[in-house]
């Protein structure tokens, strides 16, 4: 069998038939060619087979139980925190949550007595004449009545210049 005939047979034979074709033909080139054909078709079939064997796209499961559990836990924590830190006017009592080491809250002043202002008055800004002088701030803010506003200077009418 000539090389030409073998190549013609190799072009259309199935892989299983190739050893039979080569059995009666002792040619290194034809044998290498047959090996290349077999290797190529095996690679093709392996690639196609591996691709076909991939399963369908997995359905992504939403973990609803875990989401519900996490939401419930977060809601519980928020509820507890809001109960602990609620201001007195909104149902909570400042007295009930006061630490034991803190001094007792003084009783509310009687009616008619002026309640001292709890808000600290802003420190007066230093004037230009005070720059350089040291002023010791008072150790504790004095509850003082709000100072009366300084009277505004009354504008003095300027006489119109007359002819000389």
Footprint on this chain of another protein (rule: CB under 8 A): 7, 10-15, 33, 36-37, 40-41, 43-57
Output DSSP code: residue 108.
Answer: P
- Shortest spacing between CB 61 and another protein, in angstroms: 14
Give how far Cα 11 sits from Cα of 4, 34, 40, 43, Å.
11, 9, 13, 17
CB of residue 33 vs another protein: minimum separation in angstroms? 7
* Tally of CA atoms within 13 A in the half-sphere of 160 that contains its CB: 2
Shortest gap between Cβ of 40 and another protein (angstroms)? 5
Q: How far is the CB of 11 from another protein (least distance, A)?
A: 5
Quote the tokens at residue 78: 């928020």
CA-to-CA distance for 34 and 3, rounded, in angstroms?
Answer: 12
Q: Which is nearer to another protein, 56 or 157 (CB)?
A: 56
Residue 42 CB-density burial (10 A; 0-12 exposed, 13-18 middle, 19+ buried) = exposed
Closest CB 2 distance from another protein, rounded Å: 15
| Residue placing its CB nearer to another protein in the complex, 4 or 95 | 4
Nearer to another protein, 45 or 98 (CB): 45
Residue whose CB is less far from another protein, 27 or 33: 33
Nearer to another protein, 61 or 148 (CB): 61
SS3 81: helix
What is the C-alpha to C-alpha distance for residues 81 and 140, in angstroms, rounded to an integer?
Answer: 34
């Amino acid at each position: 069998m000539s090389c030409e005939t073998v190549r013609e047979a190799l072009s259309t034979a199935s892989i299983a038939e190739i050893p039979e074709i080569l059995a009666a033909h002792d040619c290194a080139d034809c044998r290498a060619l047959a090996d290349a054909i077999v290797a190529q078709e095996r690679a093709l079939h392996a690639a196609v087979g591996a691709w076909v064997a991939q399963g369908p796209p997995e359905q992504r499961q939403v973990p609803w139980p875990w989401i519900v559990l996490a939401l419930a836990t977060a809601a519980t924590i928020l509820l507890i925190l809001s109960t602990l830190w609620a201001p007195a006017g909104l149902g909570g009592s400042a007295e009930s949550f006061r630490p034991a080491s803190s001094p007792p809250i003084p009783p509310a002043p009687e009616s008619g007595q002026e309640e001292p202002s709890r808000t600290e008055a802003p420190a007066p800004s230093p004037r230009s004449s005070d720059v350089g002088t040291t002023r010791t701030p008072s150790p504790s803010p004095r509850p003082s009545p709000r100072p009366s506003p300084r009277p505004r200077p009354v504008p003095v009418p300027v006489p119109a210049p007359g002819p000389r």
